[in-house]
Amino acid sequence: MNLKIALLSGDGIGPEVLAQAVKCLQSVETTFNHHFTFSPALVGATAIDQTGTPLPDETLELCKNSDAVLFGAIGDPKYDNDPNAKVRPEQGLLKLRKELGLFSNIRPVRVYQSLIDRSPLKKEIVSGVDFTIYRELTGGIYFGEKKINEKGTVASDLCEYSEKEISRIAHLAFKAAKSRRKKVTLVDKANVLESSRLWRKVVTRIGESYPEIELDFLFVDNAAMQMILNPSQFDVILTNNMFGDIISDEASVITGSIGLLASASVGADNAMFEPIHGSFPQATGLDIANPIAAILSAAMLLEHHGLIEEAQAIHMAVENAILNNVVTPDLNADSTLGTDYVGDYIANSI
């Protein structure tokens, strides 16, 4: 298969970890006889520094003309805590999602049994946790009308959803549940929000066409509790943009290994794959960042294009590295192995 892949390394440790993902994809190319082309482009704080905008037009064009986007991380402390900043790295990411129509953010959360002691939760609680979150990514309060009055004393954000926006991601969630444990949990706040009541109505109706899937509902405040009390109850979680942002970050830490979690952002014509960890500015250039989340993002990319066996090969190489303790210091405090070394090791064992 030929695949054109846009490489958006972004800020902080983004470039370092993405380089390891590329090594693994190149290893897959050779082993399975595919042809991948990689085209780098600017995004985030790096792009602001060099071009004045967090998402240059060329970057957007490149992404639109690629089969997939591999994304590193964005964010730089110098743009945080400045409520008056006119340009922010995050705007690049939000615009990219919107322009590429990436309406569904998919985050698998799985506990690695050999790393279970790293979880902040008790072993009995996280053991066996294995679920996937479907977060709506191009609607809701993120993209609704924003207002501030002239005096700057009243500000607002509109959370709006249409039936169409809800149903397209709901279908993806139900389909995913089919090949899993057959349960979808809608997380909303239908006891307070009109938009949540629309979610509940639409998702309930769609659920009727998936009779083999159990559908249940949790208010978001309760979901935030259940994530800690009993996360193994979840199979597929479906939720809106804002609740998904919060719940999926909460979910990412219960496993104890945020450096292992990948995500896919999928639309009708495009898809983007990225580690869920951030740009981790303090670690930049130190060769200590864990490359596994980026490498598993590459595996999701392959899977998305139907290259199941190839994705499986990456998963096995990663598990092999973990079992043999070829990991960065975040997974094993005694480790002296670096990002690059671990990347090579995984790429070579594919």
Q: Give catalytic residue positions.
A: 142, 189, 221, 245, 249
Q: Which residues contact 277 (CB under 8 A, 6 or more apart)?
A: 73, 258, 259, 261, 290, 293
Partner interacting with residue 195 (select from a copy of itself, ligand IPM, none; CB below 5-8 Å by kind):
a copy of itself
**Among residues 58, 194, 221, 319, which is the contact residue for ligand IPM, using CB under 6 A?**
221
The residue count for binding ligand IPM (CB under 6 A) is 7
**Among residues 85, 192, 229, 268, which is the contact residue for ligand IPM, using CB under 6 A?**
192
Contact (Cβ atoms closer than 8 angstroms) between residue 110 and residue 130: yes
Nearer to a copy of itself among residue 7 and residue 45 (C-beta): 45
Would you state the torsion angle of the CA atoms of residues 240, 302, 314, 346, taken in this order, to the nearest 10 degrees? Answer: -100
- Burial letters for 309-347: b for 16+ Cβ neighbours within 10 Å, e otherwise? ebbebbeebbeebbeeebbbebbeeebebbbebbbbbbb
**Among residues 114, 222, 312, 325, which is the contact residue for a copy of itself, using CB under 8 A?**
222
Task: Indicate whether 144 belongs to the interface with a copy of itself (CB under 8 A).
Answer: yes
Would you state the torsion angle of the CA atoms of residues 313, 318, 323, 328, taken in this order, to the nearest 10 degrees? Answer: 160
Integer Cα distance of 148 and 130 in angstroms? 42
Nearer to ligand IPM among residue 90 and residue 160 (C-beta): 90
> Where does 216-307 have alpha helices with state H?
220-229, 241-254, 292-304
User: Which residue type, as a one-letter code, is found at position 282?
Assistant: Q
Partner interacting with residue 198 (select from ligand IPM, a copy of itself, none; CB below 5-8 Å by kind):
a copy of itself
**What are 182's two structure tokens?**
């057959």
**What are 230's two structure tokens?**
């009993």
- The footprint of ligand IPM on residues 51-110 (CB under 6 A) is 90, 93-94
The residue count for binding a copy of itself (CB under 8 A) is 61
- The footprint of a copy of itself on residues 248-287 (CB under 8 A) is 248-250, 252-254
Nearer to ligand IPM among residue 33 and residue 81 (C-beta): 81
Instruction: List, as residue ranges, the binding site for substrate.
Output: 97, 107, 135, 221
Positions that interact with a copy of itself (CB under 8 A)? 80-81, 83, 88, 90, 94, 120-122, 125, 141-142, 144, 146-148, 152-164, 189-195, 197-198, 200-201, 204, 217, 220-222, 224-225, 227-229, 242-243, 245-250, 252-254
